[in-house]
Structure 1
């Protein structure tokens, strides 16, 4: 009497699609063994794909067969050859291994005597059919995913700040997920400011609950999914490109491009890498008066156990200052910056005019870029028409298409960098900015650590130097410097109110000529 092991395999997809079941296969196999007087040694149940033989139960069976003496098992029975394998190459290899152990694999519903050479042709057909079915299914899935991707649907695991959802019809999409979405937006905004080191921003966001590794945080800052774009990879003759996604964008293209400039070093400001305590807000902003190196800060414990904080130099010059004195003198210096109340309305009027002028320039620039994009699109249409009329060949058309596409990409990037009109009222923006400039000392004293450091970064263009219990004259943001200089000049000129006002308009015009980033300075100082 022959001895057989029964191999019953089913995958979840097959069971759902075709109604295969382990119980049904087992019943058929046992009935066959009963009719043909075959003894069943064991039944092996497998719930795994047959694309390869790297299956848990099959590997255990193979190890068991190799460890036994030859002749103990004569047959391995299964219902059909696709239960055995869906890969012809792997199947032939495994058949040779089994026959080397004097074990014959056999499909009871597709029986073949492998001793007959012609039956190998039928075996090839039985084995190739499921492999072709697998390949066709994989290709259909690939084209389905690609089609959905081109439609702007995101089908993978949702990126940080989003969550996977399904519509009532079963279509997949991603939606913003709080609080992660707000933290992602805040991360982009902080990096775009260019004030603090990206690693410091990552640490701050991680503490707030943005659970990412450093490398994942960097990849997030480069990810165009956050501006509502979906990447379509290259396939055959089709080049890779981005399409508009169906999901909600978390940030604007302008903000995204600003972040890319910062990361690439094109928009980098003098970043301050600092981890400060409340008692040492100036750490990273001070320069040693002796050797020119940056001052750090740390506490020192007295004999009574009380801590005193100092700013000090790391070099052998041993320069150090008491932190409370340095902090107090900074507030005194900031309080010296003030604008007379009667001057504010004149500054407000002129600055509004300047900002409106700049916004009009942006509108003209945007119009010009849109015209250039349209011209490039027309070039591509003409080239396509020439191709249809056989006046150029396909290689020439591809070259033209590539050049035009690159040109349009550059123009669209420029268009995205053209800042839109502020959502807030310009007049209110100017008022807010001037209030900040008029009360820098009070604002600094009432601010938290991070706001203090942001205020310092936007007010002073170089590090501060403290010596002999006072600060050297600092280099101030050009716009602020001009405003205060004009205000002082007007204060000295006492006679002739009308001439003062006319002179003010002429002097404020200096701000237009000397501040290339006036709008940025105003928004930053006003906290908008």
Structure 2
């Protein structure tokens, strides 16, 4: 009686249907052995792809055969595609078993390899599954690239997202609980005060779970600003497509972070700027003559030490530390809100949101329109199923109706979020109350963070005042409000509560304020 080893395999992407399931294959093989009076030494069960022979159970099988080659006569499997889907590796492995005196064979596709003509059939049995794999792989790649070109991300969701479903029940990236950490990470990088390691440590301390390497990749991933990357393939060049998923940051902020990262890479050979608590403005102030960034240092005089912000070039600009700090603190005072200014701006915001609520209010007509569109969508689906609409006609009508429904849902979402957005505006104003005092009482790290939040770019001093070409427009408004309040105080203190003269014309959008 001959001794045989049975090998059954199903890949992870194959359905466990009849003809593919491990149990079905094993039953067929054992029935064959019983009919042909063969003794089964071992059964190896594999749940792995047949693209290569780097499979756990196949490795064990080969090792067993090498150790007990005198005991094994045949290796049996149901079909040749269960043995392998790689033609070149198959011949090498068949030769290995043959050299051990073991004959591999498929019970449903039996071959006598001692007959030369049977080698042609073996080539067919082995090459057809390999071609099928290649065709399936190309179809998968084509489908994935088609989805990417439509702005639909495919693959495992990145950190900060999970794979949700859109209105058509198709997969779409949706922000999850980690999104807030990624948003904060980009915000901290935008200040140009912290490096990547500082930001990573801060987020990790707050509970963000990721590795430092993965976080550095996050900062460079365009997916977070809403753009999907398509790799080059054959004759198609690399491309970026605007995605359909919700971005965590704006494209402009993402580009600014990339510029900051590139600038730091170029300067990586230079020594890092050491933060000295005596010079919080170091690295932020430009030379009024040559536009180079001022450095700072302290020198020893005859009787005491003197500190300066000075230029490292030959232009010779030297500014006393005490003067620079006094000028800057005066500027902070001009953008800090006192109680009267806070009340005025709060009233402006509240007034604007009330006007927006009237314009964007959602009434019965809104919901009736939405129900009608949903009914139309169901109707065209029925027409398509009945054959009254072609595929293209159905697709065009469906896309148009879904777009209208989505616009109505966005309007509902904006209306629902009105109160929370208004609260965010008011909370932001609270942060500017006594801003100058907060600055003076903060440690060096928080001081530099506050400076970076005010000035997207560097600034300089002219005529003992802060000068910059780029400043947050909200701060400019606050400065004008403060000046207006000061004029009222000087003119007539009894009119301090009459704030109407400072209010701009109606129609100012809170988003631009």
Q: CA deviation at 1:220?
A: 1.9
Match of 2:95 in 1: 96
Q: How far apart, in 2, do the equivalents of 1:157 and 1:274 lie?
A: 40
1:143 aligned onto 2:126: no
Match of 2:114 in 1: 115
Q: How far apart, in 1, do the equivalents of 2:246 and 2:454 lie?
A: 36
* Shift in alpha-carbon separation, 1:221–1:477, aligned structure 2, 3 A: same
Q: How far apart, in 1, do the equivalents of 2:261 and 2:478 lie?
A: 23
1:186 aligned onto 2:176: no
Q: How far apart, in 1, do the equivalents of 2:64 and 2:444 lie?
A: 69
- CA contact under 8 A between 2:2 and 2:73: conserved in structure 1? yes
Alignment of 1:166-245 (within 5 A): 166-167=165-166, 171-178=170-177, 180-245=178-243
Q: How far apart, in 2, do the equivalents of 1:163 and 1:441 lie?
A: 42
1:155-202, Cα deviation, whole Å (9 max, x unpaired): 222222222224586632211123x22222222222222234443333
Q: CA deviation at 1:37?
A: 2.3
Q: 1:516 aligns with which of 465, 469, 474?
A: 469
Q: How far apart, in 2, do the equivalents of 1:40 and 1:336 lie?
A: 89
Give the stretch that moved more between structures: 209-218 or 91-100. Answer: 209-218
Q: How far apart, in 2, do the equivalents of 1:228 and 1:163 lie?
A: 15
- CA contact under 8 A between 1:258 and 1:267: conserved in structure 2? no
- The number of aligned residues is 358
* Shift in alpha-carbon separation, 1:232–1:55, aligned structure 2, 3 A: same
Q: CA deviation at 1:232?
A: 1.2
Q: How far apart, in 2, do the equivalents of 1:182 and 1:451 lie?
A: 20
1:64 aligned onto 2:59: no
Q: CA deviation at 1:442?
A: 2.9
Alignment of 1:452-471 (within 5 A): 452-455=447-450
Match of 2:32 in 1: 32
1:335-358, Cα deviation, whole Å (9 max, x unpaired): 79877x9xx99xxxxxxxxxxxxx
Q: How far apart, in 2, do the equivalents of 1:231 and 1:48 lie?
A: 30
Q: How far apart, in 2, do the equivalents of 1:7 and 1:445 lie?
A: 76
Q: CA deviation at 1:284?
A: 8.4
Match of 1:131 in 2: 130
Alignment of 1:308-327 (within 5 A): none
1:86 aligned onto 2:85: yes
TM-score by length of 1: 0.57
Q: 1:290 aligns with which of 292, 299, 307?
A: 299
Alignment of 1:366-385 (within 5 A): none
Match of 2:159 in 1: 160
Q: How far apart, in 2, do the equivalents of 1:336 and 1:115 lie?
A: 94
Q: 1:246 aligns with which of 238, 244, 247?
A: 244
Q: How far apart, in 1, do the equivalents of 2:265 and 2:27 lie?
A: 72
1:444 aligned onto 2:439: yes
SS in 2 for 1:478: strand
Alignment of 1:499-514 (within 5 A): none
Q: CA deviation at 1:88?
A: 1.2
Q: How far apart, in 1, do the equivalents of 2:140 and 2:42 lie?
A: 37
Q: Which runs of 5+ in 2 are unaligned?
A: 283-294, 302-306, 308-320, 342-420, 480-512
Match of 2:104 in 1: 105
Match of 2:386 in 1: none
1:306-353, Cα deviation, whole Å (9 max, x unpaired): xxxxx9xxxxxxxxxxxxxx99x97899479877x9xx99xxxxxxxx
SS in 2 for 1:83: helix
Match of 1:481 in 2: 464
- CA contact under 8 A between 1:165 and 1:175: conserved in structure 2? yes
Q: How far apart, in 1, do the equivalents of 2:18 and 2:134 lie?
A: 17
Q: How far apart, in 1, do the equivalents of 2:15 and 2:169 lie?
A: 21
* Shift in alpha-carbon separation, 1:47–1:458, aligned structure 2, 3 A: closer
TM-score by length of 2: 0.59
Q: How far apart, in 2, do the equivalents of 1:109 and 1:457 lie?
A: 74
Match of 1:351 in 2: none
Give the stretch that moved more between structures: 196-205 or 84-93. Answer: 196-205
Q: How far apart, in 2, do the equivalents of 1:23 and 1:54 lie?
A: 23
Q: CA deviation at 1:29?
A: 1.6
1:416-450, Cα deviation, whole Å (9 max, x unpaired): xxxxxxxx99xx99xx89x88xx775343455664
Q: CA deviation at 1:57?
A: 1.6
Q: CA deviation at 1:154?
A: 1.3
Q: How far apart, in 2, do the equivalents of 1:107 and 1:154 lie?
A: 42
- CA contact under 8 A between 1:75 and 1:105: conserved in structure 2? yes
SS in 2 for 1:15: coil
- CA contact under 8 A between 2:69 and 2:102: conserved in structure 1? no
**What root-mean-square deviation, in Å, do the aligned CA atoms of Structure 1 and Structure 2 show?**
4.5
Q: CA deviation at 1:453?
A: 2.9
- CA contact under 8 A between 1:33 and 1:39: conserved in structure 2? yes
1:349-378, Cα deviation, whole Å (9 max, x unpaired): xxxxxxxxxxxxxxxxxxxxxxxxxxxxxx
